[in-house]
Structure 1
Amino acid sequence: MKKILVTGGAGFIGGNFVHYMVNKYPQYIIYNLDLLTYAGDLTKHYEIENKDNYFFVKADISDRETVMSLFVKEKFDYVIHFAAESHVDRSITEPEIFVRTNVLGTQVLLDAAMQINLTKFIHVSTDEVYGELEFDPTLFFTEETPLQPNSPYSASKASSDLLVRAYYETFGLPINITRCSNNYGPYHFPEKLIPLTISRVLNEQKIPVYGDGKNIRDWLHVSDHCAAIDLVMHEGVNGEVYNVGGHNERTNLEVVKTIISSLGKSEELIEFVIDRLGHDKRYAINPTKLGNLGWKPTYTFETGILQTIQWYLDNKEWWEQILNGEYQSYFDKQYSNK
């Protein structure tokens, strides 16, 4: 049986991918390695935690001794590397944490992968490493777009991307890098735009929108992203980068207004706040290369956002327990206009 290590499998995208793999491939053994930081949550795995092909390992990817021992013991066939600090706002206030996890942690995993006969190392990255695009609908990021990250978060991800590439070029480690647009869907931590907006609308609270709300993002349903990584894992050409985009561009303000309208609430809940430092104007991905491999998104934004809103309505107990005092303190500090 093939052994698949998923790092960051208690997070949003990694957690959805763990579910996807455990259920789709009962013949694979899925190992979920996660440190369970503030955004990590195992309650999302209650329905699979007793399955024979699922195991959880609590560990820090930066802990070299633990990671090395685990790789030598289990001899994984594939590593799907999601684990990362990923919130841009937090990277502005605490950049060192992002460098430690996203750069040094990735290096530890790469070194560990070199000790075993690994079939493939897939590094899950972000379109933010490309920098920003102008408000020109004809411009898109491709795999050849130069890396020009603008935040400590995206700089740390670009650094890890380059490390992964270097281990392929220098040591011949079989790798792929995927770069996705903004994900949304079930189990999204409520510091991010869509779950933050849904939770605050349901609680009749003000929704903070940075600047004028005209920054544009391309939205990708997490289920489509999982299917893309599955395809790259099995069919991707070693050493190649694959962009994963949903072709669902919306301004932040449009996203917020769509959610408010879907829940039958008033746009008076919107509160414009001081813009984020280094706030990129627009991200948009051309996923043609991945499409040529056989992938295409199944969700439009219209269908995906309604499904996501319904999930949050049906799973209030999950996100309400996250909105504790510690998170509330962070929220108040982050979105203050002072």
Structure 2
Amino acid sequence: MLSKLIDRLPAASARKLNLLLLSRSRSEPAAPRTGHINHILPRLIPNRIGLAAGFDPSAQAPAAWQRLGFGFAELGSVTVNAKNSGKAGREWRVGERGLIHSGEFGNPGLTVFAENLKAFRDSDGGSDFCVGANILSPDGRGNEIRMLGQALVDLVDYFTVNASCPNTAMVQTALSGPIREIKALVGPAEGKPVFVKIEPTVRLDVLEAMVESFLLAGATGFVAGSSLSSHSRDLLPGITLPWPVRGGPHPVKFGAFSGPELRDINLAMVATLRRLAPDATIIASGGIYEKSDLEDYLGAGADLFQIHTALARGGREAVERLIYADGEIGTRAQLMQAAE
């Protein structure tokens, strides 16, 4: 009954209600099936299913993600100063499993984010859950990145910064921003993993340059990929999406899309990342809904998995289904052996 009500609400309202209900839930999590994993992230994790950034930008509900059964959670994005504070952002459902969001999700800034996370860490069980922070400097300032790292290093287990695939011949120039952010974060991170979240791309030649540059700058792993920005919509030829449009003399499509249509693009990215960075930790994200998605990403070279839209559209049941599926597929080596 409640799931039907949530599905009939506007997408942004449904997301807000979902977060409220989950944060207040005291039910037992889905039973972890894969056992503790201690060779991928600094903290022991019970399974490979994680929450992607964007769902909890203010670190409001890490206890809920722990109770829900997630192995880890990437909170944020968080900025030093409040950004669009109080704005929930607009969202639109696409088909049965997709989602477009406006990209305007607000966060209350570093002080509130850190206070919420510290309260969780000080709570019963708060010290056992693996948490990452997606950090963002809207103006690309290295001093903001350092400030975020210094303030959060004792509260999180890893950091994530964002990078778009440059659509330009001046690749190294275009990559200077993420490289600067990685270098600014490595010191304050004090040896904790620094992941780079890469937007979906089919430019595997550019991806090669990104991987080399980011690893040299100090990155230790990658998230492939994030949602697809409207300016990259040509990556889905033949697929018409209901992009929102800003009015004015020159209407502009905006927002970001996530859904199963991105699965093949992100699978190719994971395979390329694994080839280029055999020792890096790779977190797969994009179009993950079923056991077969986990198997395909694992076979392509992923170590861990992240979901966002599956939770937004499928709720608790989708998370539990994926946690149990994760326990059934075993390790990558076991999967490859079975395939032979």
**Coarse TM-score class (shorter-chain normalised):** 0.3 to 0.5
> So what's the TM-score if we normalise by structure 2?
0.34
